[in-house]
Homo-oligomer: A and B are copies of this chain.
Amino acid sequence: MAAALTLARRAAGSSSPNPNVGCILVREGRVVGRGWTGPGGRPHAEAQALAAAGAQAAGATAYVTLEPCAHVSPRGPACAQLLVEARIAEAVVAMPDPDPRTAGRGIARLRAAGIAVVEGVMRAAAEAELAGFIQRATRALPELTLKLGLSLDGRIALADGQSQWITGETARAFGHLERARADAVVVGRGTFAADSPRLDVRLPGWRGHQPARVVVGHGAAPEGWETVTDIEGLLALARTRQWLRLLVEGGGTLAGSLLAADLVDRLVLLRAPILLGEGLGLAGFAATDLAAAHGRWRRVHTRLLGRDLLEILVRTR
* CA of A273 to CA of B286, assembled, Å: 15
Contact yes or no, B276 A158, CB < 8 A: no
Stretch from A97-105, A128-136, A229-237, A307-315 at the B interface: A307-315
Contact yes or no, B293 A275, CB < 8 A: yes
- For residue A267, CB closer than 8 A to chain B, the reply is yes
- For residue A124, CB closer than 8 A to chain B, the reply is no
Contact yes or no, B279 A275, CB < 8 A: no
Number of residues from A at the complex interface, CB < 8 A = 48
Report the nearest B residue to A299, measured CB to CB: B273
- For residue A170, CB closer than 8 A to chain B, the reply is no
Known: A154-B154, A311-B309. A287 touches B298 (CB 8 A): no
- For residue A112, CB closer than 8 A to chain B, the reply is no
User: A276 contacts which of B283, B287, B299 (Cβ < 8 Å)?
Assistant: B287
Contact with B along A181-195 (1 / 0, CB 8 A): 000000000000000
Stretch from A19-27, A38-46, A145-153, A220-228 at the B interface: A145-153
Instruction: Give the contacts of A150-181 with B (CB-CB under 8 A).
Output: 150-155, 158-159, 162-166
A311 contacts across to B, CB distance below 8 A = 152, 309
Instruction: Give the contacts of A263-293 with B (CB-CB under 8 A).
Output: 267, 269, 272-279, 281-290, 293
User: A287 contacts which of B259, B275, B284 (Cβ < 8 Å)?
Assistant: B275
* CA of A273 to CA of B7, assembled, Å: 31
User: A278 contacts which of B275, B286, B302, B307 (Cβ < 8 Å)?
Assistant: B286
A267 contacts across to B, CB distance below 8 A = 152
A56 CB, nearest partner CB in chain B, Å:
46
* CA of A299 to CA of B305, assembled, Å: 12
Most central of A164, A276, A277, A285 by chain B CB within 10 Å: A277
Report the nearest B residue to A165, measured CB to CB: B290
Q: Could you say how many copies of this chain the assembly holds? A: 2
- For residue A59, CB closer than 8 A to chain B, the reply is no
Known: A152-B154, A153-B154. A287 touches B277 (CB 8 A): yes
Report the nearest B residue to A259, measured CB to CB: B275
* CA of A298 to CA of B275, assembled, Å: 12
Most central of A276, A287, A304, A307 by chain B CB within 10 Å: A287
User: A277 contacts which of B269, B272, B278, B286 (Cβ < 8 Å)?
Assistant: B286
- For residue A17, CB closer than 8 A to chain B, the reply is no
Known: A272-B294, A302-B309. A158 touches B288 (CB 8 A): yes
- For residue A296, CB closer than 8 A to chain B, the reply is yes
A278 contacts across to B, CB distance below 8 A = 282-286
A297 CB, nearest partner CB in chain B, Å:
5
A289 contacts across to B, CB distance below 8 A = 158
Report the nearest B residue to A148, measured CB to CB: B153
- For residue A217, CB closer than 8 A to chain B, the reply is no
5 contacts between A and B (CB under 8 A): A154-B154, A165-B290, A277-B285, A277-B286, A278-B283
Which 3 A-B pairs have CB atoms at the shortest separation, nearest pair first?
A154-B154, A277-B285, A278-B286
